[in-house]
Chains A and B, each alone.
Chain A
Amino acid sequence: MTPLDFLGDYTLRSILLGSALLGLVAGTLGTFSVLRRQSLIGDTVAHAALPGICAAFLLTGTRDTLGLLLGGGVSGLAASLLALAILRYSRLKEDAALGVTFSAFFGVGIAMLTAIGKGGNAAQAGLDKFLFGQAAALTQGDVIRFALLGALALGTAALLHKELKVTLFDPDFARVQGWPVPALTALSTALTVLAVMIGLQTVGVVLMAAMLIAPAVAARQWTRSLSGMLGLAGALGALSGALGAGLGLSVSPGAGSLPTGAVTVLAATALAVLSLLVAPRRGVLAGVVRQRRVRARLLRGSNSGGRA
């Protein structure tokens, strides 16, 4: 299949564009959570969306995507704010705060899912698609919605760039400046929730975590500035999305026999590992070379010192 086929075919174009958009948004916004050492908040939000998705289904009785995503977004946001509250009001650390909220929320979600299943409603079958994601089912409408949500999330981040940056690196200074630090933290978490909601449908609950983390880890290797990292992470995320969808679809044009979400995640991980190895200055190889050089110089120095 040639690249032209992709752009010409309606279905393939939607899948490719949708995956790339997801990568762009998740990669950019994931930078904040990785730098805040809350990388796994994406995992938490993705799991915690389940009860909201079930509740939305029970309320509306349909499998309308927007309603389900809205419900998922609300419960994902509630869980992430709860995790932030636990961090603030107890001695527990990030890992425990995130772990407690997502396992409790996900447990309730599973209970609701089984209860719905026993109701014998045929539409329920589609609900668990949200757990594993299905890029092959993306339509042009989804892509447009992704673009709108993504623009909203990225636009907010761009608008509040300075405030978010200072809150991230120097919260004490931000507090002295009189900025609402907890509100800003909550806002950047809410943006992450938006990114997760975009990704849930494409790559699923478990794999969503990777789309927030891997591009940011890769980007960190190449740059020392926040804006550079944000841009690069977005670009690498988009590249992983396009690669994943492209590879997945070309290996199996039957649409869906090779899960594009999983291929996307592996592409993002491969980019991260490659960056860790070969990036100049911070890369593992660069480190080895540097160490060799220093050792050689020290040896030379001690030899000449002995002769003198």
Chain B
Amino acid sequence: MTPAPLPLDFDLVIVVTAVFVAWACGLLGLFLVLRREALMSDAISHSALPGIVAGYWVTGGSLATLPALVGAALFGLVTVALTALLTRSGRVKADAALGLVFPALFAAGVIAVSLNYSNVHLDLDAVLYGEIAYTPFRTGWLGLPVGWLLIGGMLLVNALFVGLLFKELRLSTFDPCLARTLGFSPALIGGALLTLVALTTVAAFDAVGAVLVVAFMIVPPATALLLTRRLRQALGLTLLAGLSASAVGYALALALDASITGVIAGVLGVQFTLALLVQAVRARRVRGSARLGG
């Protein structure tokens, strides 16, 4: 990773990276929110830690990105599987099952770090926060930023998944029974969705950190669902919210000299609040006209 002379504009690289992450996360996040599995992204982002440590251990302590990513993705899948196992036992509700699995895996990761690598700089902070400001300095194939290649690739995969299986996703989300009757497995589609969530979370880790990944997975879809009840419109609004929050958040972060990812997450929160107000006003108007009509 030599800091090659960059043919691309610094600001552009950062904003485009953020938008790639926003879109890759939002495409999946919309279905996660609709399936009431929104917090799965938060869980995966935490329970990936032992996977990162394992990748580090297997490679004998080199801070290579690829093994760490593979390990993290594996533990993301372990989280999904264990949660499903607990929920399906019928003894624990889905939210408690998730809350049992991810802190335990995170705790195991914390212990593994402090027992083996307390003297090595395996930076927990970097995993949790990421540092998007470094993306322009790490260039790979064709001189493009590594972040673009990794997250752009994930965006492409997710777009293909949602585009090609849109009908199936919609049906298995809203009416899993009909989906099963029509002959395709909603569990299989749900599993594929969560697998992609795990991979996307991990791919985006390196560039933007866990905070922003989780924010992009949950907040723009929730905002969109406040404004519309149509799935296609919600998808469009999700992408729009992610795009605008990335651009506005980056500009604001520069002005405030604060963490880019933190400010973008804050802007997403403001967007959501505005949408909530719009929805409340709309609901009141509907109630008012109903009273007039009655």
Contacts and interface: CB of A to CB of B under 8 A. Distances in A.
B91 A210 contact: no
Contact of B266 (A95, A98, A108): A108
Nearest to A103: B215
B120 to A, nearest CB: 14
Interface residues of A, number: 63
B36 A95 contact: yes
A114 B91 CA distance: 42
A209 interface: yes
Contacts of A272: 100
Contacts of B104: 210, 265-266, 269
Q: Looking at chain B, what size class is its interface with the partner chain?
A: 35 or more
A271 to B, nearest CB: 11
B42 A96 contact: no
Interface string A202-239: 00001101101110110011000000000000000000
Contacts, number: 200
B28 interface: no
A104 B219 contact: yes
Contact of A266 (B108, B212, B214, B226): B108
B263 A107 contact: yes
A44 to B, nearest CB: 9
Contacts of A101: 269
Given A96-B33, A262-B107, A40 B262 contact: no
B266 A107 contact: yes
B103 A91 contact: no
A129 to B, nearest CB: 12
Interface in B18-57: 33, 36-39, 41-42, 46
A263 interface: yes
**Of A42, A115, A118, A263, which is in contact with the most chain B CB atoms at under 10 Å from its CB?**
A115
Contacts of B192: none
A43 B197 CA distance: 20
Nearest to A282: B91
B218 A96 contact: yes
B261 A213 contact: no
A273 B175 CA distance: 33
Contacts of A284: 89, 91
A103 B39 CA distance: 10
A40 B107 CA distance: 17
A105 B269 contact: yes
Given A98-B39, A104-B266, A110 B211 contact: yes
Interface stretch (B110-118, B152-160, B285-293): B110-118
Contacts of A91: 225-226
Interface stretch (B5-13, B63-71, B179-187, B251-259): B251-259
Interface in B245-287: 253, 256-259, 261-266, 268-270, 272, 276, 279-280, 283
B276 A89 contact: yes
A39 B98 CA distance: 9
A112 interface: yes
B61 interface: no
Given A111-B262, A111-B263, A217-B100, A104 B91 contact: no
A282 B270 CA distance: 45
Interface in B189-222: 211-212, 214-215, 217-219, 221-222
A133 to B, nearest CB: 10
B276 A269 contact: no
B106 interface: yes
Contacts of B236: none
Contact of B103 (A98, A102, A221, A265): A265
Given A95-B36, A111-B256, A103 B218 contact: yes
Contacts of A60: none
B95 A94 contact: yes
A93 B95 CA distance: 12
Contacts of B108: 262, 266
Contact of A99 (B38, B118, B261, B270): B38
Nearest to A105: B269
B88 to A, nearest CB: 11
11 contacts: A39-B93, A40-B39, A95-B36, A96-B33, A104-B265, A110-B211, A115-B257, A220-B91, A261-B110, A263-B111, A284-B91
Interface of A: 34, 37-40, 42-43, 86, 89-115, 118, 128, 131-132, 206-207, 209-210, 212-214, 216-217, 220-221, 257-259, 261-263, 265-266, 269, 272, 276, 282, 284
Given A103-B42, A106-B265, A257-B115, 7 more contacts: A39-B96, A92-B222, A99-B42, A104-B215, A104-B272, A262-B111, A266-B107
